[in-house]
Amino acid sequence: MKNYIVALDGPAGSGKSTIAKIIAKDFNLTYLDTGAMYRMVALYTLQNNINIKDSKTIIESLPKINMDIVNDSFILNGVDVSKEIRTPEVTKIVSPAAAIKEVRIKLVDLQREISKGKKVILDGRDIGTVVFPNADVKIFLVASPEERAKRRVKDYLSKGITEDFKTVLADIIERDLIDSSRKESPLKKAHDAIEIDSSFMNIQECVYSIETIIYSIIGE
Ligand code: DC
């Protein structure tokens, strides 16, 4: 079977990563969580006391930020930071980091490199519009901000982190705004992407509808 690319884009908390992981397993695809890569840049700024608004220093630091993805683990300069990149502290500052053009250039190159010669599903914001505009399958997954905040609170709880609903909702609305209004590769549905609203769907229903689409296009 030929290599192919599934682009799964959508706003924060729409369920992309949960769903992408299941589909990757079912279809034997490599899964690339591109949001985790932006999170590693944000974590680097925290670790090195760099103000997130200081884009000049962040850009100068880029050559010192080495990231690796080994199986499901995210390695930043040799250290496994899979847990650290999911903390609310990183979540709060990641959107401004992802808005920096030079950061995006570096990470998009890396995403293309990692995907080369593979059957792959990538989740992010700009996969179908910028990273792989010729992706074989493009899905744009959305859900209401309230539903997404509810899911995030639950997700944090499962990791032992207590965050209150209103704070998470405000954070999601703010991130949506930054991600969709930024100049560089804003969060936007590709003209040829298929939109799925997961607000009233459970995970299995979402997976089923996306797998049906992949099957109908790729035939796997
Ligand atoms: O999906 P996530 O919450 O882990 O993404 C973290 C941040 O990275 C989010 O603010 C949007 C940004 N991002 C991006 O700009 N482009 C991507 N391809 C993936 C994530």
Atom of ligand 1 nearest to the CA of 95: 10
In terms of phi and psi (left: phi > 0; alpha: psi -120 to 50; beta: otherwise), the region of 186 is beta
**Which residue's CA is the nearest one to ligand 1's atom 10?**
95
H helix and E strand count, the chain:
8, 8
Probe target for ligand 1 pocket from 9, 19, 38, with the most ligand atoms within 8 Å of CB:
38
What CA–CA distance (Å, rounded) separates 82 from 98? Answer: 18
What does each of the 220 residues of the chain score in pLDDT, given as a tens digit?
Answer: 689 999 999 998 898 999 999 999 999 999 999 999 999 999 999 999 999 999 999 999 999 999 999 988 999 999 999 999 999 899 989 999 999 999 999 999 999 999 999 999 999 999 999 999 999 999 999 999 999 999 999 988 998 989 999 999 998 999 899 889 988 889 999 999 999 999 999 999 999 999 999 999 998 6
What CA–CA distance (Å, rounded) separates 7 from 141? Answer: 10
Distance, CA 1 to ligand 1 centroid (Å)? Answer: 30
Distance, CA 4 to ligand 1 centroid (Å)? Answer: 22
- Cα 94 from chain centroid (whole Å): 11
Ligand 1 residue neighbourhood (C-beta within 6 Å): 12, 34-35, 38-39, 94-95, 98, 124-127, 175, 179
Instruction: For residue 154, count other CB atoms closer than 10 A to its CB.
Output: 9
pTM value > 0.75? yes
Distance, CA 94 to ligand 1 centroid (Å)? Answer: 7
